[in-house]
């Protein structure tokens, strides 16, 4: 036992237990396995109701996650991604020591009226379409689809995207790079074929991230990324300090 509960304190036992468990989580004591309710009940000599209330608050804060068939698991971030900048998913993963690779599912010239609309182009405009299955470590992370004007991005057809970033290739082969962008993130339940690519369970939730990027005032990219819900969470930190952290995304390991 790390510490004992103060039964004479005005602080409820569940709140004390939550605090003690949070300290143990921060020390990475439960990285391999989080204890069962019965184990915590015996260890802290409290009722199962007290244990459940403490765990419920840890679940609500995102520290723990209750999963069918797996019990309670720890949401341990592999790496964090700043959202306040026009980031590269490839660079973010690599910078934090996680191997990144992609299976290229499509790299061709298409006509796509919806993507063309986002790029301020006619419906029949030729677009470069790049679709990838993105891997972080040994597990799939995302299905990523991007469209760019063919008049600008046609040299990308000769690029090898198995281990490189779109923006790096865009700069190297086309001499340009987006300098501003906008993203929208929403929950989604992916189609069956996307779940299969992601090795996700049927009905497992995911995040759909839509990105538009520009070079100055010229639309350059329309992108849709489906991220596994079991691997990532979006976290925002705020402060009145001038050095406050920017919003960021935490990517979680697959158990």
pLDDT of residue 100: 80
Higher per-residue pLDDT: 109 or 247 = 109
pLDDT at 154 > cutoff 80: yes
CA distances from 15 to 62, 71, 155 (A): 16, 21, 59
Q: Are 185 and 234 in contact (CB under 8 A)?
A: yes
Closest CA relative to residue 221, chosen from 188, 255, 159, 174: 174
Say whether both 127 and 204 belong to one domain.
yes
C-alpha dihedral (87, 93, 97, 100), degrees to nearest 10? -140
Higher per-residue pLDDT: 246 or 106 = 106
Q: 94 lies in a domain?
A: no
6 burial (CB, 10 Å; 0-12 / 13-18 / 19+) is exposed
User: Range of 166's domain?
Assistant: 100-229
pLDDT of residue 30: 82
Identify the CATH number of the domain in which residue 131 sits.
3.40.1410.10
Say whether both 205 and 144 belong to one domain.
yes
pLDDT of residue 95: 61
Q: How many domains does the chain have?
A: 2
Q: 23 lies in a domain?
A: yes
d(CA 179, CA 215): 5
Say whether both 24 and 59 belong to one domain.
yes
Say whether both 69 and 105 belong to one domain.
no
18: tokens are 């939550």
Say whether both 106 and 68 belong to one domain.
no
Identify the CATH number of the domain in which residue 49 sits.
1.10.10.10
pLDDT at 20 > cutoff 80: yes
3-state class of 67 per DSSP?
strand
Q: 106 lies in a domain?
A: yes
Closest CA relative to residue 93, chosen from 106, 79, 73, 105: 79
Say whether both 104 and 64 belong to one domain.
no
d(CA 204, CA 196): 11
Higher per-residue pLDDT: 67 or 192 = 192
Tell me: the pLDDT tens digits for 31-71? 778 888 999 999 999 999 999 999 888 877 666 766 655 66
Distinct helix (H) and strand (E) counts, the chain: 8, 11
**Prediction pTM value:** 0.65
């Amino acid at each position: 036992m790390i510490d004992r509960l103060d039964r004479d304190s005005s602080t409820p036992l569940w709140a004390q237990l939550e605090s003690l468990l949070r300290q143990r989580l921060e020390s990475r004591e439960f990285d391999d396995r989080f204890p069962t309710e019965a184990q915590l009940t015996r260890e802290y000599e409290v009722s199962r109701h007290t244990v459940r209330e403490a765990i419920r608050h840890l679940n609500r804060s995102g520290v723990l996650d209750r999963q069918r068939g797996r019990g309670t698991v720890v949401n341990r971030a592999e790496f964090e991604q700043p959202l306040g900048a026009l980031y590269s998913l490839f660079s973010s993963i690599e910078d934090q020591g996680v191997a990144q690779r992609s299976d290229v599912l499509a790299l061709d010239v298409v006509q796509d009226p919806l993507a063309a609309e986002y790029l301020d182009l006619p419906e029949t405009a030729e677009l470069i379409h790049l679709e990838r299955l993105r891997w972080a470590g040994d597990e799939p992370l995302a299905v990523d689809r991007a469209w760019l004007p063919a008049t600008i991005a046609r040299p990308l057809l000769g690029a090898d995207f198995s281990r490189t970033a779109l923006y790096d290739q865009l700069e190297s082969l086309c001499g340009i790079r987006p300098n501003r962008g906008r993203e929208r993130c929403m929950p989604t339940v992916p189609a069956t074929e996307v779940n299969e690519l992601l090795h996700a369970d049927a009905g497992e939730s995911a995040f759909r991230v839509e990105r538009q990027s520009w070079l100055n005032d010229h639309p350059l990219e329309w992108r849709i990324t489906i991220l596994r819900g079991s691997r990532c969470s979006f976290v925002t930190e705020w402060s009145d300090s001038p050095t406050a952290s920017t919003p960021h995304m935490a990517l979680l390991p697959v158990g």
